[in-house]
Amino acid sequence: MTRILIVGHKGQLGRLLFSYPSEHERLGMDLPEYDITDTKATQYALREMRPQIVINTAAFTQVDAAEEHYDLAYRINAHAAGALARFCEELGASLYHISTNEVFDGQRRDQPYDEWDQPDNTHGSAYARSKLAGENAVRFYHSRARIIRISWLFAPQGNNFPAKIVAAADKYGALRVVADEFGVPTYGPDLARAIYQLIDLKAPPGIYHLVNGEKTSRYAFAQEILRVTGREHVPITPISHTEWPRPAQPPLHAVLVNRAAAALGVRLRDWQEALADWVATTGEVHPRP
């Protein structure tokens, strides 16, 4: 039995990893009991728990708020991630670090980003810069880290894109959704399963892109959400990202492709099938008028 510590086990992904059916022993680390920005306390806790594997899901994920609270986002996403990697290296613990498609600038429209593509978002959002710094810190301090990049994460619990679309449709009766931002959704339960597959396969250190199938736009994703939840009667208008101003502009074409994990036999189903599972799990089906 392997002892696995899930950092951020109360979050959207952390809860799924903590409850995933497995024979592994799971431990959790999260606020308010543990604050990973307190590096001395974190180091002490790791020495006490002595995990063999650490999965770091903890992050400052409020993308727009990171523009105003960049110091905090950087402390969590970069400094704390690097310190955690250093402590894992000292203990001989394997590290799986969750990152994001936003480490890419999204300027490449003709093809998706592979695991070996060089990330660059020096002019991107504060969140993106902090996550890229976190990747660099993890690689610097840990010789055998696995960095797992995901995008557009959604799960049965949490304030994610499908949940927001359903709530907005019910509240306003009409939607305007950005049509020129592209990515690949990642379904939390499928992601948790894939991470445990990588663990059980003893996947080599490196970078893995874990996403559900092929690219879509925010608009097309929202259309499918309305359809499968019985809300296709709700009017939805495609708009440009310039018509939906935000403090933090996400990359418009940060489309990931799963090659490294797929080479090991680890694949996630298409996002349309995953979304249908989300609907079945949440019960978010609206009676047609």
Q: How confident is the model at residue 121 (pLDDT cuts 50, 70, 90)?
A: confident
Q: How confident is the model at residue 288 (pLDDT cuts 50, 70, 90)?
A: low
Q: Tell me whether residue 67 is exposed, middle or buried, using C-beta atoms within 10 angstroms of its C-beta: 0 to 12, 13 to 18, 19 or more.
A: middle
The yes-or-no verdict on residue 15 having pLDDT over 60 is yes
192-247: pLDDT as tens digits: 999 999 999 999 999 999 999 999 999 999 999 999 999 999 999 999 999 999 99
The domain 3-158+184-212+254-269 having CATH identifier 3.50.50.60: the answer here is no
Using DSSP bridges, classify how beta strands 216-217 and 182-183 pair: parallel, antiparallel or unpaired: antiparallel
The yes-or-no verdict on residue 289 having pLDDT over 60 is no
Compute the distance between CA of residue 258 and CA of residue 270 in angstroms, rounded to an integer.
12
Using DSSP bridges, classify how beta strands 25-29 and 3-7 pair: parallel, antiparallel or unpaired: parallel
Whether the predicted model's global pTM rises above the 0.85 cut: yes
Chain-centroid distance of CA 121 in Å reads 17
Give catalytic residues, as residue numbers: 127
* Average pLDDT along the chain: 95
Using DSSP bridges, classify how beta strands 25-29 and 153-154 pair: parallel, antiparallel or unpaired: unpaired
Compute the distance between CA of residue 27 and CA of residue 64 in angstroms, rounded to an integer.
31
Compute the distance between CA of residue 224 and CA of residue 252 in angstroms, rounded to an integer.
20
Q: How confident is the model at residue 123 (pLDDT cuts 50, 70, 90)?
A: confident
Per domain, the residue ranges of the chain are 3-158+184-212+254-269
pLDDT of 220: 98
